[in-house]
Amino acid sequence: MWTGDEQRRRVAVNARALERELSWLDRVLQLRIGAHFGQEAGDTVSATGTGTDELRLAAGGAVSRPTLVASPEGRASEGRADQRPDQRPDQRPSAPPPLDLDSDHGRLVKSLGLTPDDRLVLALALAPHLRPQLLDMLFVRNRNLDRGFSEFGGWKGRAHGGFLPTAETAAFLIAGEDLSRRVQLRRTLEDDAPLRRNGLIRLDHDAPGEPWFCAALHITAETLDLLITGESRKPDYSAGFPAKLITTRLCWDDLVLDSDALEEVQSLTTWARHGEALMRDWHLDKSLKPGYRSLFFGPPGTGKTLTATLIGQAVGADVYRIDLSMVVSKYIGETEKNLAQVFDQAEHRRWILFFDEADALFGKRTATSSSNDRYANQEVSYLLQRVEDFPGTVILATNLKGNIDEAFARRFQSVVHFPMPDADQRLRLWEGMVRHTGRLAPDVDLHALAERYELAGGAIANVVRYGALNAVQAGRERIESADLRKGVAKELRKEGRMV
């Protein structure tokens, strides 16, 4: 962890590096706008339209922006209308500034081998966050059509007043009217290219059937934090990211499983740790799909969530529990959209996705007697496809295996049963949860509690909590047998059982 002075120095170094990148973006924008309207950068630029509207935008530093003046000259072009594209002004952006390898931006660019086009796209995605006024020039309107220029792309947010870029904006800056460079840029923005494979940017396309380049261009929150502060925060739970990072202070010794379940869990852990190497070095990628899918089933409180968390802890991977209340929607298409937000962000990270109570999402398909049934079945089919295509580890947990659609069950690499613990396992759970506290009264017989009451680990934890609270309320320093028996009675009543 850095000291305050170190943190301030790092932020200052990063700010200087980002300032140079944004100044470069500013120059490229001026050159491209000037070329687009047939003028040199810094000159008065004639835009298409009628009337006398003017957009004067002051640039930072000593560089001045061109003034955009609407004029009735018809469609703007790059150079004269009779010029071929190869005769028009230079289509290439200006050269990028030298990298500052003391900055997090410089180190990131070098480590990932980002090209100048990659850097320009990254700077464009940064601009709305760091210098939103830089893109205001792109708001200039085509007065003949009374709208913006299609080739500039962009969109308007609900709260943000500035210009928000799309892939079309990046294409305008980098390719202009050069079709071959536009095609190359599309490859730069594909999900397996460095910018998206490493989670630096995100493309959101909410309009099926519309051109690919109209997708909104975003920098990810983690990348923004890294480039500014040097620290990359993990995604936070929100309406746009319906998943929660789960952790535990427990270890494998605290997990009580039978030998069969433990063997399956160990196989899953081995794949999570070595799966990429096995696919690559053992050449299994020819015959096996990437990723690993596992079903955990068993009564509540038997350790399904804890096991998923411990697997992540063992392999150094973040475990995200999907909040189904934020995912499932009654509106057509919304459930798939919400789930896609998680899968898209997790695509190239070593995350483990954990779906608790998964039958709410992955339940059995039904006979189609109505349009609602057909849509529900399409939704399940979509989820099946996303899970099957996910290259990482997906764990689905449910209380009843029979509730899961059979098509999912056939595609699981492992199915792990978490049964109710037997007497010996219950004793281990009791001992692990309360013996180390030194707060047990002499009359407590954990062996008798384990023998007499069939409880899962989660229920035993609730009993221990109740016993401690009851002792404190009574003004005692130790948990007595009566405290635990009352807690057991409460847990059994919750399950509809009698003591």
Which residue type sits at 78?
E
User: Does residue 29 lie in a domain region?
Assistant: yes
Instruction: Tell the burial category of 186 from Cβ atoms under 10 Å away from its Cβ (0-12, 13-18, 19+).
Output: middle
Q: Do residues 188 and 291 both lie within one domain?
A: no
Half-sphere exposure of 369 (CA within 13 A, CB side): 2
Measured between alpha carbons, how far is 470 from 269 in angstroms, rounded to an integer?
40
The CATH number of residue 483's host domain is 1.10.8.60
* Residues 223 and 254 occupy one common structural domain: no
Query: What is the span of the domain harbouring residue 468?
Result: 423-494
- Shared domain for 194 and 329, answered yes or no, is no
- Is residue 499 situated within a structural domain? no
CATH number for the domain harbouring residue 360? 3.40.50.300
What is the residue whose two structure tokens read 């039978």? 258
Query: Please, are residues 370 and 337 in contact by the beta-carbon 8 Å criterion?
Result: no
Tell me the residue ranges of DSSP E strands in 343-455: 352-355, 393-398, 414-417
* Same structural domain, 413 and 428: no
Which H or E run includes 337? helix 334-346
DSSP-derived letter for residue 434 is H
Write the single-letter amino acid at 89. P
For 245, phi then psi, to 5°, come to -70, 125
In a domain, 235, yes or no: no
**DSSP classification of residue 330:** S
Asked whether residue 376 falls in the same domain as residue 312, the answer is yes
Do 216 and 271 share a structural domain? Answer: no
User: Which mean pLDDT values do the consecutive 10-residue runs of the chain (499 residues) have?
Assistant: 78 96 95 79 37 33 38 38 44 79 96 95 97 93 85 90 95 93 93 89 82 93 91 71 88 92 94 91 88 92 95 94 75 74 80 85 56 58 80 89 72 90 95 91 94 94 95 94 94 83
Number of structural domains found in the chain: 3
Using the 3D structure, point to which of 394, 417, 440 is the last residue of a domain: 417
What does the block give as tokens for 68?
A: 């955009």
Tell me, what's the pLDDT at 319? Answer: 94
Q: Which residues contact 271 (CB under 8 A, 6 or more apart)?
A: 278, 292, 393, 413
Task: Kindly state whether residues 371 and 274 are assigned to the same domain.
Answer: yes
Pairing state between β 201-204 and 216-219 = antiparallel
Of the candidates 417, 451, 485, which is a domain's last residue?
417
Give me the pLDDT at residue 54, please: 37
Closest by Cα among 172, 181, 175 to 214? 172
What per-residue confidence (pLDDT) applies to 145?
83
The reply to whether 385 and 476 lie within a common domain is no
Check residue 115 and give its pLDDT.
95
Same-domain status, 490 and 383: no
Question: d(Cα 195, Cα 214) in Å, to the nearest integer?
Answer: 18
Does 258 share its domain with 383?
yes
On whether both 262 and 282 belong to a single domain, the answer is yes
Q: Which pLDDT belongs to residue 325?
A: 67
Global pTM?
0.71
Please indicate, yes or no, whether residues 348 and 447 belong to a single structural domain of this protein.
no
Q: Is the residue at 150 inside a domain?
A: yes
Report the DSSP pairing between strands 147-148 and 141-142: antiparallel
Residue 465 lies in a domain: yes
Distance CA 175, CA 164 (A): 19
Q: How far is CA 386 from the centre of its chain?
A: 15
Sheet with 68-71, strands from edge to edge, namely: 45-48, 68-71, 54-55
Residue 264 CA to residue 269 CA, distance in Å, equals: 9
